[in-house]
Chain A
Amino acid sequence: MMGLSGRAAIVGAAESDAIGILPGKSTLQLVAEASLNAAEDAGLSIRDIDAVFTAGWRPTEVAEYLGIAPRFFDGTQVGGSSYVIHVGHAAAAIANGLCEVALIVHGESGRSRIGMFPEGGGPQLPAGQFEAPYGLPGAVGSYAMACSRHMHEFGTTREQLAEIAVATRKWAAMNPKAFSRDPLTIEEVVSAPLICWPFGKLDCCLVTDAAGAVIVTSLERARDCRMRPIRVLGFGEGLDHQIISAMPSYVHGPGRISGPPAFAMAGVTAADIDVAQIYDSFTYTVLLTLEDLGFCRKGEGGAFVAGQRTAPGGAFPLNTSGGGLSYTHPGMFGIFTIIEAVRQLRHEYADQGPRQVADAAIGLIHGTGGRLSATGTAILGRD
Chain B
Amino acid sequence: MAQDKPLPVPDPVTQPYWDGLNAGELRIQRCRSCEKAVFYPRALCPHCGSRDLGWITCSGRGTLHAFTIAHRGTPAAFKGSTPYVVAMVELEEGARVMTNLIDVDPTPEAVKIGMAVEVVFEKASDAITLAKFRPR
Contacts and interface: CB of A to CB of B under 8 A. Distances in A.
- A and B co-occur in one complex: yes
Contact of A196 (B5, B73, B114): B73
Given A123-B9, A152-B113, A133 B69 contact: no
Contact of B66 (A133, A134, A148, A193): A148
Nearest to B122: A133
B108 A136 contact: no
Give the interface residue-count category, chain B.
35 or more
Interface string B73-84: 111011001011
B67 A137 contact: no
A126 to B, nearest CB: 6
B22 interface: no
A129 B67 contact: no
A221 B113 CA distance: 55
B68 A145 contact: yes
A133 B73 contact: no
Which of A130, A133, A145, A193 has the most chain B CB atoms inside 10 A of its CB? A133
Interface string B121-132: 000100010100
Contacts of A148: 66-68, 113
A152 B97 CA distance: 19
A128 B75 CA distance: 12
Nearest to A151: B113
Given A135-B100, A195-B72, A145 B7 contact: no
Contacts of A152: 66, 113-114
Contacts of A250: 66
A246 interface: yes
A152 to B, nearest CB: 4
What's the dominant secondary structure at chain A's contact region? Answer: helix
A196 B71 contact: yes
Contacts of B11: 124, 129
A132 interface: yes
A245 B74 CA distance: 17
A17 B25 CA distance: 58
B66 to A, nearest CB: 4
B78 A135 contact: yes
A123 B68 contact: no
Contact of A126 (B40, B97, B128): B40
Interface string B110-121: 000110000000
Contact of A129 (B14, B73, B96, B114): B14
Interface centre among B68, B87, B114 (most CB of A within 10 A): B68
A146 B66 contact: yes
Interface string B23-46: 000000000000000011000000
Interface in B82-100: 83-84, 86-88, 96-100
A134 B114 CA distance: 20
Contacts of B71: 193-197
Nearest to B67: A148
A131 interface: yes
Contacts of A199: 68
B73 A132 contact: no
A134 B86 contact: yes
A25 B8 CA distance: 36
B124 A133 contact: yes
A140 interface: yes
Contacts of A196: 68-73
B61 interface: no
B10 interface: yes
Contacts of B134: none
Contact of B68 (A126, A128, A129, A197): A197
B86 A123 contact: no
Nearest to A199: B68
Contact of A132 (B6, B40, B67): B6
A131 B96 CA distance: 12
A47 interface: no
A122 B108 CA distance: 32
Contacts of A129: 8-11, 14, 40
B108 A128 contact: no
Given A148-B66, A197-B68, 9 more contacts: A123-B7, A124-B10, A133-B7, A133-B130, A137-B68, A195-B71, A198-B68, A204-B73, A244-B98
Interface of A: 122-124, 126, 128-138, 140-141, 144-146, 148-149, 152, 193-199, 204, 244-246, 250
9 contacts: A124-B9, A129-B8, A130-B98, A134-B130, A137-B68, A137-B73, A197-B68, A199-B68, A245-B40
The 9 closest A-B pairs by CB, nearest first: A135-B78, A144-B68, A129-B8, A197-B69, A245-B98, A124-B9, A152-B113, A194-B71, A149-B66
